[in-house]
Amino acid sequence: METIGEKTTTTAPPVAELHLHIEGTLQPELIFSLAERNGIDLPYQDIDELREKYEFRDLQSFLDLYYANMAVLQTEQDFTDMTCDYLKRAAAGGVRHAEIMMDPQAHVSRGVALETCVNGVAKALATSNEDFGVSTLLIAAFLRDMPEDSALDVLEQLLDMNAPIAGIGLDSAEVGNPPSKFQRLYQRAGEAGLRRIAHAGEEGPASYITEALDILHVERIDHGIRCMEDTEVVQRLVAEQVPLTVCPLSNVRLRAVDKLEDHPLPEMLAIGLNVSVNSDDPAYFGGYVDDNYQQLVKVHGFSVPEQATLAANSIRSSFASDERKAELLEEVTQWVKESLPPQ
């Protein structure tokens, strides 16, 4: 769709992807080829049968399949191949910087060594800028439906092995697992100099956002869309410009919103929240970050300037160096010039 006259464009802007689970990039084709490589029997006959399961009722129904499919990830090479596949596709869609979450507990609990999953992903990230033009950071995400002591144990192992992680995150089943459950984990991460982010306000209430900020001292909120239910929380997020890494297609596919037309992102942008657009688990939710942008243009008529604001928010909210941020913000400026109709 090329509708420059309406100030929209088919190409998404250069962005930083800040909310991406690397295990959520496992495409069905790769699941089947890794299963064959590792001699793993899958409970599906073919890719079509697997894809039929991608109809989710809620976050948990997705997580059940997300964790089950990880069974094919056994060797360092498996993790490297998965990460390279994502970086190649993300780069094609305009991603220039990616801060990638991985769930180490989901792998060590399957008998995969911590070094295997960490080194496998890290090997792909080490040359991502040269290979794909994407600068990257790795974030260890911890499972909130497991005990805090399990997370603390894995974090200590990551620190002991000097794992190349920039920060920690908190994901998995949100309701009933409030951020306050992980106060010691986040205190330890802060003492170790790690950046801190957390999922909050996806299915959980706006109060989880407040807990993540005041008890875990996070710098970014993953999702955060349920802030819109609490005026005071919204006012604080606007005043403090707390980054919210929103995932529109994910919210539709996990039924956090009924359809994209109902998504609060346009209002969130309009009232001055510091929002970015991300793909979350693109292999499961029908699109990479550029597909999210294109759906937002199609359904909500996001203009070139609005897309540029979202892109600039993603870059400014990243943990990239100031030099890298300036470089990417200049690319967004150039994208706007190329996307707007000639004066």
Annotated binding site: 19, 21, 199, 280-281
Q: Any contact of residue 24 with ligand HPA (CB under 6 A)?
A: yes
Residue with smaller CB distance to Zn ion, 169 or 339 = 169
The count of residues interacting with ligand HPA (CB under 6 A) is 11
DSSP 58: S
CA distance 182 to 147: 9
Catalytic residue among 17, 76, 99, 202: 202
Q: How many CA atoms are closer than 13 Å to the CA of 332, on its beta-carbon side?
A: 25
Q: Any contact of residue 280 with Zn ion (CB under 5 A)?
A: yes
Residue with smaller CB distance to ligand HPA, 79 or 335 = 79
Q: Name which of 239, 243, 227 is nearest 310 in CA terms.
A: 243
Q: Does 330 qualify as catalytic in the annotation?
A: no
Among 85, 280, 290, 306, binds ligand HPA (CB under 6 A): 280
CA distance 136 to 124: 10
Contact letters for ligand HPA, residues 237-276 (x by CB under 6 A): -------------x--------------------------
List phi, psi (to 5°) of 89.
Answer: -70, -40
The count of residues interacting with Zn ion (CB under 5 A) is 1
Residue pair 85/30 in contact (Cβ under 8 Å)? The answer is yes
How far apart, in Å, are the Cα atoms of 15 and each of 237, 292, 301?
22, 12, 19
Residue pair 206/227 in contact (Cβ under 8 Å)? The answer is yes
Residue with smaller CB distance to ligand HPA, 170 or 308 = 170
Catalytic residues: 202
The site for ligand HPA (CB under 6 A) is made up of 21, 24, 59, 66, 171-172, 199, 202, 250, 280-281
The site for Zn ion (CB under 5 A) is made up of 280
